[in-house]
Homo-oligomer: A and B are copies of this chain.
Amino acid sequence: MTAPAAPVRLLLADDHPVVRAGLRAVLETEPDFEIAADVPTAEEAVALAARLDVDVVLMDLQFGGRMLGSRATAEITARPGAPRVLILTTYDSDADILAAIEAGATGYLLKDAPPDELAAAVRSAAAGKSALAPAVALRLMDRMRTPATALSRRETEVLQLVADGLSNAAISKRLFLSQATVKSHLVHIYSKLGVDSRTAAVAAATARGLIRR
């Protein structure tokens, strides 16, 4: 414990060159960190995580439109002796957070985190402890407190089409349902979200990150 431990080996994955450079700059100043590589795509992160035997992967969730961040996380953590994965992203969308944690992420940080918080999170992750940014933790607590937030698969599907601007008739055709069924789903959605119109449901769901935009 008191002996100078082996350095924490890091892999940075983010599609923004500026962010990669920033993470390098911020983390390189920590004497016990060693940055093995930085990559611009989720695919390269998966490949190098295995090859370079790193301790912690710092990964963005949004890779230029492609939603591969959480999948990459799942693939990395699936292997035995896998490194810890720390999600580092701009948004605190509920859906993203849940997906990342289910995919096996050890922590979830926001990009506006100050450098010392970032370094602390990396050390926590390396030690196997979970690390959540305060803002993210609050959000999770909030979600736990309101159990009604969980929409069923079908309800989410319907709501997503509503958000895309489709009418009930169009949705019923798309999903091979009757309009009555679509309305039933909507009624349930409204009561779960505490709203009373389709537009309000979309607003509430996007605010809570239940559907993608």
Partner of A22, one of B25, B113, B201, B202: B25
* Min distance, Cβ A198 to any Cβ of chain B, angstroms: 6
B17–A114 touching, CB < 8 Å = yes
Q: How many copies does the complex hold?
A: 2
| Docked complex: A160-192 residues within 8 A CB-CB of B | 162-167
A192 to B17, CA, bound (A): 38
A213 within 8 A of B: yes
Q: Which residue of B lies closest to A90 (CB)?
A: B90
Q: How far is the CB of A17 from chain B (nearest CB, A)?
A: 6
Minimum CB–CB distance for A100 against chain B, Å: 18
Within 8 Å CB of A201, what residues of B? 165
Given contacts A22-B21, A199-B202, contact A16 B165 (CB under 8 A): no
- A23 located at the interface, meaning its Cβ lies under 8 Å from any Cβ of chain B in the complex: yes
Residues of B within 8 A of A21 (CB): 21-23, 25-26, 115
Residues of B within 8 A of A26 (CB): 17-18, 21
Mask for A6-21, Cβ within 8 A of B = 1, else 0?
0000000001111111
Would you mind naming 18 contact pairs between A and B with Cβ atoms under 8 Å apart?
A15-B112, A16-B111, A17-B22, A17-B112, A17-B113, A19-B19, A21-B22, A21-B26, A21-B115, A25-B25, A163-B199, A163-B202, A165-B197, A165-B199, A165-B200, A165-B202, A206-B213, A213-B213
A residues apposed to B, CB below 8 Å: 15-26, 64, 90, 111-115, 118, 162-167, 195, 197-204, 206, 213
Q: 3 closest Cβ contacts across the A-B interface? A: A22-B22, A165-B200, A165-B203
